Structure 1
Amino acid sequence: MDDDVRPVGRVTLDAEMERAGAWPKDSPWLREAFAALPRERFAPDRLWRWDGWAYVPVDLLGDPDGWLAELYAGPHSPAVTQLCGGLPSSSLSAPSVVADMLDSLRLEPGHRVWDVGTGQGWTAALAAWRADPGLVATTEVDERLAEFARGRLVAAGLDVEVLVGSGTVGGPPGGGPVDRLHATYAVEAVPWSWVEAVRPGGRIVYPWGRLGYVALTVADDGAAAHGWVHGLAQFMGDRTGPAQASTGRPAYAAVRGDAEPEARRVLDRDAAALKDWHLRFALRVAVPDAVLLTEQSEGGPVSLVHDGNRSWAEIGPAPDGRPVLWQGGPRRLGDELLTAWAQWEELGRPDLYDYGITVTPDAQWAWQGDPQDGPRWPIEFGLVSPRAG
């Protein structure tokens, strides 16, 4: 691609981030770092685009305009950089999410940073732009990705140590405490080794399972970490953890198969409310293994739910227009969601930013409103999502 063409994507993204209010006001350095380390410097020559049926390659050499459009699709759009079994296994995360998570990290010059999940190296590069030389190290489980990122970081003139290994089960590079830990793949339960790796008062910013990201502060005595949910996003999961239920209609269809509903009842609530992301997040907290997908039908919105095993539910309009719940399998997954929905309403319909997480060596839980006295939901250590890349 002609070097004169690439700045078009950068300028367009900068303007779109401005219009969307996505440049963090408390971290003006991020806008400068994005300009100094543009996204394409860390993108492979082949990206992947969803065509409605499957992911198809978009090559820089064969389709430079398409490649650029995929890379700079917008502030809220990731660029898929790797597939495994036909599904995304690595990506350059959405620019708005990258900026917001690094803003949540409260990164300052002089901080020692552990970037967990190198990917293509872009987030490590941005952190290194802010920190002093030699203070950022990054860990990647995929040797090919690590090698790619290492080359791009060197080409950018950045002093970043790239290590191959699992950041989930290993410790920080060099063994000593770090000031900031930034994870780029999702875990349901935070590895205690992450808390041990961060000094008291330090920050951990990580994607929480299938939905959302959290900023934790390590307690002064190092015996716990607490923090609030900072936003919504979906990330690749931890490769070292057990498989988590997939999203999308094919996953729902695989769980339900050709089974007929075993239970049916008319609902006294508006099924369209399930499109509200604050409600969806509350359901994610209360029923963490429930995968929820909302589609639009001729009669109105339809919500498909499954647990990745044998239980499923569907909420949608009956022929007379009334919302109906159908469900099947060994558990009544739809009833669990309705109970959680009612609890959310009883709590005053809190938004997703009113939730937080506490991590201790022996237990973890989500809470709402107040970390000490608010309602709690346990986080099971077995619910660790799989990272594909």
Structure 2
Amino acid sequence: MDLAERRTALDRAMEARGYWPERSPWLREAVAALPRDGFAPDRLWRWGGRAYVAVDRSTDPGGWAQALYAGVDEPAVTQVTGGLASSSISAPGVVVDMLDSLLPEPGHRVWDIGGGQGWNAGLAAWRAGPGRVVSTEIDPLLADFARRRLAAAGLEVEVLTGDATTAGSRERFDRVIATYAVERVPWTWVEATVPGGRIVCPWGRLGHLALTVADDGRSASGWVQGLAQFMADRTAPVPTAAGPAGYNTVRGDGPAATERRIDRELAPLEGDWDLRFALRVAVPDAMITTGRDEEGINAWVHDGRSSWASLSAVGDGTTVLHQGGERRIGDELLTAWTAWEDLGRPEPYDFGVTVTPHRQWVWLNRPDTDGPRWPIPDAVAGVSRSQ
């Protein structure tokens, strides 16, 4: 299958999944005019089971094309640093969903944050027009690559090298879009957006937001728009790893502080992303890993610092909870789980976020009521912003 056939297959797959948004028909035209292979480097990376393996266009053009067009929900890893993926061309479905949430119009001034290879900025420029998009990328090599690819596509986009998370911008934009996640939306992004403007950014480890800046510029608020995972911001502290390695680091080899049996089946922790999102809101520093054995679903939880919990299936529908550390993070998780059930099992799209200069919080159903709210902490230990 050549590249033209893969582009057609991607277009049809997006259509079959309902990923082309009705309110933004321009996106389908833009993706056709600016295919992702025009912004991909000649070396991509695929996961080989134990480590990332290079796929070079010159020696394996078919494998390279397959890695780039793996599917509507599959990103293409473009850079590996220290054995970890450090940059990618995001999955087509995610790129389209976020740009649809941004609602850019011709003539809008757009700030693209975390520009990577330039595809996202190129699509935004196709919509906004020549000279209307500024893209900021912290990696000088990636920024230079994006400049060249955007110029080759005939697009007039200003590409800056710098850290947009902390530095902000002296300009004011109608639209701001970031392609790496933050635990807290930087206030500098709100300051860089005109009143009534929109900010779209990945938040936490699971979803992305679309915020509208208030008319007085003193706050921004909006809904969760979709679920996706993003890579780490390079300026953030390296977090304690998720998964078994991170758990073992925090757990250590000392005895548990408490042990008890609970009447709770853990299967929803494995595949119910509505639940996982709600737990992320209520216990933002909890890293959860699940696994199966002959007794059922087990879970391991830690906070990246000192507190841990293990939930082990017994085989009769009950679970044994062991905990240790400064806090009882297992009890926190179970309390949040029960609260989510009592609220009617809301979906991620029922949640939203409000940002002010000094406070941020998550709300459920309506931002302007006294309904459930969860503060977003100033810092989440063990958790990085993600790109």
TM-score, normalising length: structure 1: 0.94
Please list every run of 5 or more consecutive structure 2 residues that lacks an aligned counterpart in the other structure. Answer: none
- Determine helix, strand or coil for the equivalent of 2:44: strand
The answer to which of 225-234 and 264-273 deviates more is 264-273
1:280 aligns to 2:276 (yes or no): yes
Distance in 1 of aligned mates of 2:318 and 2:278:
24
- Determine helix, strand or coil for the equivalent of 1:12: helix
Of the three residues 200, 206, 210, the one matched with 2:201 is 206
Spell out, residue by residue over 1:130-162, the C-alpha distance to the aligned partner (whole angstroms, 9 max, x if none): 111100000011111101111111111100000
State the 1:65 CA deviation.
Answer: 1.3
Of the three residues 11, 15, 20, the one matched with 1:14 is 11
Residues 50, 255 of structure 1: alpha-carbon distance in 2 compared, 3 angstrom cutoff: farther
Residues 253, 63 of structure 1: alpha-carbon distance in 2 compared, 3 angstrom cutoff: farther
Spell out, residue by residue over 1:33-87, the C-alpha distance to the aligned partner (whole angstroms, 9 max, x if none): 1111111111111111112211111111122111111111111111111112111
Residues 298, 7 of structure 1: alpha-carbon distance in 2 compared, 3 angstrom cutoff: farther
Distance in 1 of aligned mates of 2:91 and 2:357:
32
Q: What corresponds to 1:171 in structure 2?
A: 168
- Determine helix, strand or coil for the equivalent of 2:165: coil
- Determine helix, strand or coil for the equivalent of 1:280: helix
Of the three residues 353, 364, 368, the one matched with 1:368 is 364
State the 1:259 CA deviation.
Answer: 4.6
Residues 247, 32 of structure 1: alpha-carbon distance in 2 compared, 3 angstrom cutoff: farther
Residues 300, 147 of structure 1: alpha-carbon distance in 2 compared, 3 angstrom cutoff: same
The letter for the 1-side match of 2:209 is V
State the 1:5 CA deviation.
Answer: 1.3
TM-score, normalising length: structure 2: 0.94
- Determine helix, strand or coil for the equivalent of 2:168: coil
State the 1:321 CA deviation.
Answer: 5.0
Structure-to-structure mapping, 1:75-86, within 5 angstroms:
75-86=72-83
Structure-to-structure mapping, 1:1-389, within 5 angstroms:
5-172=2-169, 175-274=170-269, 275-373=271-369, 374-383=371-380, 386=384
- Determine helix, strand or coil for the equivalent of 1:168: helix
The answer to which of 64-73 and 226-235 deviates more is 64-73
The answer to which of 224-233 and 9-18 deviates more is 9-18
The answer to which of 127-136 and 295-304 deviates more is 295-304
Distance in 2 of aligned mates of 1:118 and 1:364:
26
State the 1:262 CA deviation.
Answer: 3.5
1:236–1:386: 8 Å Cα contact kept in structure 2? no
1:242–1:383: 8 Å Cα contact kept in structure 2? no
Residues 377, 163 of structure 1: alpha-carbon distance in 2 compared, 3 angstrom cutoff: same
Distance in 1 of aligned mates of 2:386 and 2:273:
25
Residues 317, 114 of structure 1: alpha-carbon distance in 2 compared, 3 angstrom cutoff: same
Distance in 2 of aligned mates of 1:62 and 1:325:
52
- Determine helix, strand or coil for the equivalent of 1:151: helix
How many residues of Structure 1 are paired with residues of Structure 2 in the alignment?
384
Distance in 2 of aligned mates of 1:297 and 1:24:
41
Distance in 2 of aligned mates of 1:297 and 1:27:
46
2:291–2:298: 8 Å Cα contact kept in structure 1? yes
1:117–1:138: 8 Å Cα contact kept in structure 2? yes
- Determine helix, strand or coil for the equivalent of 2:160: strand
The letter for the 1-side match of 2:282 is A
Distance in 2 of aligned mates of 1:277 and 1:67:
31
Residues 258, 97 of structure 1: alpha-carbon distance in 2 compared, 3 angstrom cutoff: same
- Determine helix, strand or coil for the equivalent of 2:174: strand
1:278–1:352: 8 Å Cα contact kept in structure 2? yes
2:183–2:384: 8 Å Cα contact kept in structure 1? no
- Determine helix, strand or coil for the equivalent of 2:201: strand
- Determine helix, strand or coil for the equivalent of 1:26: coil
2:264–2:317: 8 Å Cα contact kept in structure 1? no
1:90–1:388: 8 Å Cα contact kept in structure 2? no
Distance in 1 of aligned mates of 2:39 and 2:244:
32
